[in-house]
Structures are given as structure tokens and as C-alpha cells.
Amino acid sequence: MGGHGISEGDINTRTPKEFLKDCIAAYDYFSTVNGIDKHNINIVGSSFGCYLGTILTSKRNVKNIVLRVPADYADDTFEKPKMGNAGENDKVFTWRLLPKKYNEVYAYKTLHEFTGEILIIESEKDAVVPHQSIQNYINAVKDKSKLTHIVVKGAPHSIKPGPFKDEITKIIVKWFGNKF
């Protein structure tokens, strides 16, 4: 995505709308790669990537989605720079503590309409995405029979190489193993 790594753009000024365009471009590219099954494209996201991935399901065909510590954002920040409007902002964190209905946030609306399988992985010790945000995503899922929710005990928001990353990798591999 723009502003990350060696890509062009300034991460400090890019908006979620611009990041979503990057995700759509990546999806469109990968769906044309020889050998890719266009009917079996899955998304695995973490934090902000979950927010973008959830919205992407309303723009492109996605079979299943994994949301690890899914961050949520108010609709009125979609065209504002992400930096300063994320979890490090006390107002955003306070907003994330509030229960919301699926039709109050665009990401929840798109998840509500999503028909594939959904895995939500929550980190018990997350200081960026509180449990209420996770619960709002869970509540947005229309067909709960397609939802798996797992809490990783003791895990923080950011996962470094080590036991938490290993555990999360095993969870995702096992979950996908049951899909094929």
C-alpha cells in the first residue's frame, strides 16, 4: 500500500479511501495471475487491514475472511488521513469502546452482507482494539453459523515472532484447512 516500505506516497497523509484503492488494485492484479482461482480468493487481515478487507468484500468477490484484531473507524474519517484518526488517538479509542449496530459503521454493514466464512481472532491484552470493537464486528455478522471467534489469551495487539505469532498462525492454518 502507498506509503509503506519502498512504495510511493506519504503514510502520514494517505486516507483509508486511498488505502482501499490500493487493496482493490492488489486484488485485481492477483485475480489475473495465471493459476489463481478467482472463485477462491480469501482475505487475511490484521488491525487496519481487517477494516480494509471487510470493505473490500463489498467491492470484489471474496470467499472467506480472517480478521485478526479488527480495528474499526468512524465513517466520517474515510477521506481523512488515517494517521491521527486511529487507535493512538484518545477520541478514537473512546469511540471504539461504544457498542454500535451493524448499520452504524460501513465496515460492519459490509460484514453483515458478507456470505462467506469469517474467523475473528481477538487478542486478550489488546490496548489498541478493545473488546467492544471486536464485539461490534461479531454482532454485525448476520449468519453466526459462519462465524468462528477465538481469543488468544495474553496476546497484545501487535504480534512479534514468537509464541503468540506461532499460535495465531496455527489457528489460521487449521481454520483454512477445514475449508478445503
Q: What is the residue extent of each domain of the chain?
A: 16-177
3-state DSSP assignment of residue 138: helix
pLDDT at 87 over 80: no
pLDDT of residue 180: 66
- C-alpha to C-alpha distances, 35 to 23, 31, 42, 96, nearest whole angstrom: 20, 9, 15, 40
Radius of gyration of the chain (CA): 16
* Number of helical (H) and strand (E) elements in the chain, helices listed first: 6, 4
Reported as a single tens digit per residue, the pLDDT across 156-180 is 999 999 999 999 999 999 999 977 6
Amino acid in position 27: Y
Instruction: Provide the CATH number for the domain formed by 16-177 in this structure.
Output: 3.40.50.1820
